[in-house]
Structure 1
Amino acid sequence: MEKETTIFGIRAVIEAIKSGENIDKIFLQKGLRGELFTELEHLLNKERLNSSYVPVEKLNRLSKKNHQGVIAQIAPITFHDIEELVTSVIESGKVPLFLLLDQLSDVRNFGAIVRTAECTGVSGIIIQKKGGAPVNGDAIKTSAGAIFKIPICKVDHIKDAVFHMQASGIKVIAATEKTDNTVYDISFKEPCAIIMGSEGKGINPSVIKVSDERAKLPLLGEIESLNVSVACGAFLYEAIRQRR
């Protein structure tokens, strides 16, 4: 199994970005200043890389070396191009079933979803470049290695993926409680993509607005929501049930 690689130091991270390394996430020390750090920030904004400002204690836990306030994690996989992936799936003759994850941030939920997606024959998973869970060692472990077996794409915004799916003749279904339709009222037999939202906020309202259909899972108990990975599994297996 391929291991996650960590790069530390401001100059080293700058050079890694410029050389096209497949960087998944960058951790920056809060309050860091300086000309070189400013150059790095400009580069992060230009390339729209996933980054977060954290206390120095977190950086010290990630690396015992002289990190200079900056640590980058290299993704253990190569991300696919969404246009090439969608085209290849359509040309294969299989009925597309894509999964769009809107800023899902918990790495273990992400890994569990990847595992279920691989088991249900999902054509590919699309995530956002910024704000989502890192594709790291924890994700690999939770996915039981499925992360190496299913295509994963990154886009600037999930709406970019929604529009591309729709332009390719793929129906986009938002999993949200803000509807009267249940998952059993929706047809998954045609080409479709399912959007799952983040653990706390769900799907961004602007993303729900541009989706083709909305569906929810019926909840019969007193708790008002399911874990997102469990909900995702229910949606995917309903799609499989209809397609059998």
Structure 2
Amino acid sequence: MGDESVISPKDRFLTVYGRKPVLEALDDAALEVDKVILADTVRGPNAAEIQRAAKAAGVPVQRASAHRVKVLAGNGKQDQGVLADVVAPRMRSLHAALSDGRPPSRVLLLDGITTPANVGMILRTATAAGLEGVVVPRRGVAALDPMVVKASAGVAFRAPVLRCGSAREAAEMLTEAGYGIYALGASARSSVFDVELPQRAAFVLGGETNGVGAEVGELVTEWVSIPMPGEVESLNVSAAAAVLSFELVRRAATKASGTTR
């Protein structure tokens, strides 16, 4: 894990690809676009439109091979030969967050969530709830691409995203930093509404099909569930994240008011 101290471009930018998403990013005054990369195969009116928008926004345009653009976009079909690196001001590595003088007290850890819509909605919800970190591993979780941005209604650009290699690696780092690891599981006896939490806690949200993976499960401090009196087996992971996030809001408000739970 020694290389976690090295800042990767993937820990600074969200990359959007495709003509329309890139133009939307360039036209949004609230966003800072670092650069646009245009495939050398893109010519004519389409290239001119991108270049005009980039010039108006004061953003440099770099030319690259079509293959290079596909590699950078991570998508072989929908990049349309253009991508933009958008600065995500609150995104950083998990290593940096844990090395901070004031590390986040409550974080979500995504483990095996592969549907972009779920990742986007979780980022939106967590940001709305004021959580200080959502750990989005580079492997095993949906890439932070235009589909995630769309599902978050643009909030992904300013979400408190923490990056690392894998969910297991994140759980190890969090454990070493003194966090309790709490995983959501439908059959857990402890309720998310009643569990006693330490000063620092990380909550693992598992994949849509298989839930929390075995590698992360080995490091879980306690499993917790969301009580469901109705006849439903489980919630969608983004809905579960919303319940959890706003339970943490409730606890913080209760603590601030000096009343008991």
CA contact (8 A) 2:124 2:159 kept: no
Is 1:4 the equivalent of 2:13?
no
SS of the residue corresponding to residue 4 of structure 1 reads strand
Distance 1:170 1:63, change over 3 A: closer
1:63 deviates by 5.5
In the superposition, the TM-score normalised over structure 2's length comes to 0.65
Distance 1:188 1:135, change over 3 A: same
Is 1:228 the equivalent of 2:237?
yes
CA contact (8 A) 2:15 2:83 kept: no
| Matching residue of 2:150 | 141
CA contact (8 A) 1:173 1:194 kept: yes
| Matching residue of 1:109 | 118
| Matching residue of 2:188 | 179
1:125 deviates by 1.4
In the superposition, the TM-score normalised over structure 1's length comes to 0.69
Is 1:128 the equivalent of 2:177?
no
1:11 deviates by 6.0
Q: Distance in 1 between matches of 2:83 and 2:210?
A: 26
1:206 deviates by 2.3
SS of the residue corresponding to residue 134 of structure 2 reads strand
CA contact (8 A) 1:26 1:73 kept: no
Q: Distance in 2 between matches of 1:242 and 1:64?
A: 46
Q: What does 1:92-107 align with in structure 2 at a 5 Å threshold?
A: 92=102, 96-107=105-116
Higher-Rg member (1/2): 2
- Paired amino acid for 2:99: T
Distance 1:131 1:235, change over 3 A: same
Gaps of 5+ in 2: 1-13, 19-37, 42-63, 254-261
Q: What does 1:48-127 align with in structure 2 at a 5 Å threshold?
A: 59=77, 62=78, 76-78=86-88, 79-88=91-100, 91-92=101-102, 96-127=105-136
Gaps of 5+ in 1: 18-22, 28-58, 66-71
| Matching residue of 2:205 | 196
Q: Identity of aligned pairs, percent?
A: 22
Q: How large is the RMSD of aligned CA atoms in angstroms?
A: 2.9
Q: Deviations along 1:130-152, whole A, 9 cap, x unmatched?
A: 23222122222221222122232
- Paired amino acid for 1:87: S
Among 5, 17, 25, the residue aligned to 2:74: 25
- Matched residues, number: 196
Q: Deviations along 1:188-207, whole A, 9 cap, x unmatched?
A: 46211111011111110221
| Matching residue of 1:161 | 170
- Paired amino acid for 1:226: L
SS of the residue corresponding to residue 185 of structure 1 reads coil
1:213 deviates by 1.5
Q: Distance in 2 between matches of 1:195 and 1:124?
A: 12
